[in-house]
Chains A and B, each alone.
Chain A
Amino acid sequence: MKIRSKILLGFLILATMLALAGAYSIFEFRLIGTSVQNLLDDNYRSITAAKTMIEALEREDSGLLLMLSGKWKEGRETIRSADGAFRGALETAGNNLTIDGELNYVNAIRNRYKTYARLWDRPVDGADQQGKLKWYLTEVHPRFMNVKTAVQSLMDLNDDAMYDTASVLKNRAHRAIMPGIIAILSALAFTIVFNFFINIYVVNPIISLKRAIDHFMETNEPVRVTVETRDEIHELAASVSDLTSMARISR
């Protein structure tokens, strides 16, 4: 192989390593971008919806307690606005099913909430304070906790999925960086070897040839330089040897 091809090959190898590393890093970074978007779109939206539901539930619970304490109108108003917020958040969660089995969690919330909401239509009336408290503790509170637990489960599910996605992101970031590091280190090692070869097979023979020519000019002894490779340097050495032989004859 000719020197030109060898040098070209060396640079092509360097370029290939870096190009591949770059291409893969870009590919992985694009995936990271998509994963981050998915993280926000899928899991974070559901988590926000779950938080809204829990907040709405707390407000409904307060509204019910207001009604039981005689502030009927104020309690009704609180429950009505919280119910709207809850149903809105539940719809958001229902439209954002991105994890296996998430529909079951949403359905569980819907069913439990239906049972819970039925209680507000006929809040205990006419009973004494003790009776109202008993009704609240035996009927309302367990159902409230049921719904809250179901919402919490949905939130946990999305939290776990978010953690998994974050782990995947961490791995992707690692995979995006590593080819670059490997390419840089390999390119460094390759450059050292390349430089060594250029010295051994290009620079050193040229220096030897120059010395031999100088020696020829001083002593008129024939130029004999051994070149291992079969490239332009080899041809040059042969030509110089022929040239000096001819020069000796003509002298």
Chain B
Amino acid sequence: MRPQIVIRYVGFVLLFNALFLFLSAILSGINMDSALFPLLYSAVVTALLGVFPIIFVPGPDYIHNQEGLYIVVSGWLLSCLVGALPYIMWGGPFTFTNAWFESVSGFTTTGSSIISDIEVLPVGLLFWRATTHWIGGIGIIVFMLAVLPATGHAAMVLSKSEISSLAVENFRYRTRKTLHILLVVYLGLTVLESIGLLLAGMNLFDAVTHAFATIATGGFSTRNLNVAAFDNALIELIIMVFMILSGIHFALIFLAMTEQAKRLWNSSIVQYYLVSMGAGILLVAINIHGRVYEGWLAAFRYAAFQVISLGTSTGFATADTAIWPGFAMLVLIFFTLQCACAGSTSGGIKADRMLIFWKSFVSQFRKLRHPKAVISIRLDDTVIEPPVIEAGLLYIALYLIVVFISTLVLAFMGIDALSAFSGSAAAMGNVGPGFGTVSSLANFSLLPAAAKWVLSIVMLLGRLEIFGLLMFVFHRFIR
């Protein structure tokens, strides 16, 4: 492995971050707020650190897969680190631990926050906070590759390391075309939602920051009461529509927009994703009707928003789910674990793997009845090969093991079981809010510092789909 090549590409990532830090600093300068220097200084330091390796190290002809992995993981870790700089410098509630947590939560699009009073933050810092979602949503390396011209073979290796393995299977295009699709859909959805929210009554700043958070399935709001602060059904409806869209494989959205709309509806994964979410909304609405909300309309309104928000791993909130009945909480926890489709900005186990899991379950059941039968598992017209099924099931098992270990560690620190489990599941799925002390309208500020570090590691594990980070850490031991 050539560390200098890794450093060179991480330099690009840093420059990319510096660009957005500069944009936030400009916004801060226009508002003359207290985040101007923290953002500007962070941008300059990040740019200086990023530009040097690019100048010093000549561009390579090729990149090994292992180097690609190191570039992706180092890129993520360093992005989180430089992303924390403006918070650390600004001060207030941001200790190093809190700043790191907020930054990791932003870049991994988790949306968990340690800030009790979001509205006192200066505009520039709020914008940077939303921007970390937006950069992280599509994947910082993918974003960088899509924007940078002529990265050639490097683009292929890096995008393979960055994009979910399931999504790579589904993108049947050349790398450059795949990156182009991702960028077009991502930008298109962001612009459309911003316009929609603007027309629905939000101001420009709120519209853009909420669009950033929605399309990235992040969940950072600019208000203490999150989306509930707007108390506007139209705004909620627009956000719900875009949360659902952001949870669908971007290639399918691209196809639906450009040529084959039916491909979207014929996809068994999309069907499963939408049907499961519809069932979840129905169950939660029935459960909270009469107990929390008197009318059916209110029950469906709040059930739909909360289920879609957690089921797409966004984490926006319009209601305090901590006071909802246990059954509704459990349904929401299921969606916190499952989340949306691969190839989207969503986290979690993903609907694709869940569908493979259910189909494997049915297939196993059939095999018990007909031991000699050869039963293949299909998704649409494609037969899923046994190694893909094994990898999917192994991922689900590992995912749950990580959630369980994280829950144990948090519980050991004295955090109650519900908060520990739901917080861990929400961090692993990059969802954001859990239940108990870390519920939708609360925050993570009361957790001990060690718990915040544990959760930030879990967020990174979830975002890099476990294997990426594990291979990076244990590379020297696993040969």
Chain A residues with CB under 8 Å of chain B are 1, 6, 9-10, 13, 16-17, 20-21, 24, 171, 174-175, 178-179, 182-183, 186, 189-190, 193-194, 196-197, 200-201, 228-230
With known contacts A193-B7, A197-B57, A178–B48 Cβ distance under 8 A: no
Give A237 to B91 CA distance when docked, in angstroms.
Answer: 52
CB-defined interface of B1-15 with A at 8 Å, one 1/0 digit per residue?
A: 001100100000000
Query: Are A230 and B58 in contact, CB atoms less than 8 angstroms apart?
Result: yes
Q: Tell me whether B4 and A17 are in contact (CB under 8 A).
A: no
With A179-B41, A182-B88, A228-B58 already in contact, the answer to whether A197 and B53 are too (CB < 8 A) is yes
Q: Which of A9, A16, A178 contacts B89 (CB 8 A)?
A: A178
Whether the pair A24, B41 counts as a contact (CB closer than 8 A) is: yes
Q: State whether A182 touches B85 (Cβ < 8 A).
A: yes
A–B Cβ pairs within 8 angstroms, 26 of them? A1-B55, A6-B56, A9-B52, A9-B55, A13-B48, A17-B44, A17-B45, A17-B48, A20-B41, A24-B37, A24-B41, A171-B92, A175-B37, A175-B90, A175-B91, A178-B88, A178-B89, A182-B85, A182-B89, A186-B45, A190-B48, A190-B52, A193-B53, A194-B52, A200-B4, A229-B58
A201 touches B56 (CB 8 A): yes
Interface residues of B in 8-59 (CB under 8 A from A): 37-38, 41-42, 44-45, 48-49, 51-53, 55-58
A32 to chain B, nearest CB (A): 13
Pick from A10, A17, A175: contact of B38, CB below 8 A: A175
A186 to B52, CA, bound (A): 13
A189 partner residues in chain B, CB cutoff 8 A = 49
The answer to whether B56 and A197 have CB atoms under 8 Å apart is: yes
Having A193-B53, A194-B52, one finds 12 other A-B pairs with CB under 8 Å, namely: A13-B52, A17-B44, A171-B91, A174-B91, A178-B38, A182-B88, A196-B3, A196-B4, A197-B56, A200-B4, A201-B4, A228-B58
* SS of A interface (majority): helix
Q: How far is the CB of B245 from chain A (nearest CB, A)?
A: 39
Per the CB 8 Å criterion, the residue count for chain B at the interface is 24
Task: Check B52 against A193 for contact (C-beta < 8 Å).
Answer: yes
B-chain residues with CB within 8 Å of residue A200 when the two chains form the complex: 4
Tell me, in angstroms, the Cα distance from A40 to B89 when the chains sit together: 27
Contacts of B42 in A (CB 8 A): 182
Q: Which residues of A contact B85 (CB under 8 A)?
A: 182
In the complex, what distance in Å separates the CA atom of A228 from the CA atom of B4?
A: 12
Find chain B residues with CB under 8 A from A194 CB. Answer: 52
Q: Once the chains bind, are A186 and B4 in contact (CB under 8 Å)? A: no
Let me know if B49 and A21 touch, CB within 8 A. Answer: no
**How far apart sit A178 and B4, CA to CA, in the bound complex (Å)?**
29
On chain A, the residues within 8 Å of B37 by CB distance are: 24, 175, 179
**Chain B neighbourhood of A174, CB < 8 A:** 91
In the bound assembly, the distance between CA atoms of A196 and B38 in angstroms comes to 29
CB distance from B127 to the nearest CB of A (A): 19
- Output the least CB separation between A87 and chain B (Å): 41
Q: Give the distance in Å from the alpha carbon of A16 to the alpha carbon of B55 in the complex.
A: 17
Closest to A16 in B: B48
Q: Which residues of chain A have C-beta atoms less than 8 A from B91's C-beta? A: 171, 174-175, 178
Residues of B within 8 A of A186 (CB): 45, 49
* Cβ–Cβ < 8 Å partners of B92 in chain A: 171
> Which residue of A has the minimal Cβ distance to B7?
A193
Nearest-CB residue, chain A, relative to B2 = A200
Nearest Cβ on chain A to B232's Cβ, whole angstroms: 33
Asked whether, in the complex, the Cβ of B44 is within 8 Å of the Cβ of A16, the reply is: yes
CA distance in complex: A6, B41 (Å): 23
Q: Which residues of B contact A13 (CB under 8 A)?
A: 48-49, 51-52
Residues of A contacting B89 in the complex (Cβ-Cβ under 8 angstroms): 175, 178-179, 182
Distance to closest chain A CB from B2 (angstroms): 9
Chain A residues in 8 Å Cβ range of B49: 13, 186, 189-190
The docked-state distance in angstroms from the alpha carbon of A183 to that of B58 is 27
Q: A13-B52, A197-B53, A197-B57 are in contact. Are A20 and B88 (CB under 8 A)?
A: no
Residues on A with beta carbons closer than 8 Å to the beta carbon of B45: 17, 20, 182-183, 186
CB-CB nearest in chain B for A189: B49
Bound CA span A222–B340, Å: 62
The residue of chain A having its C-beta at the shortest distance from the C-beta of B85 within the complex is A182
Shortest distance between the CB of A202 and any CB in chain B (Å): 10
Which B residues lie within 8 Å of A197 (CB)? 4, 53, 56-57
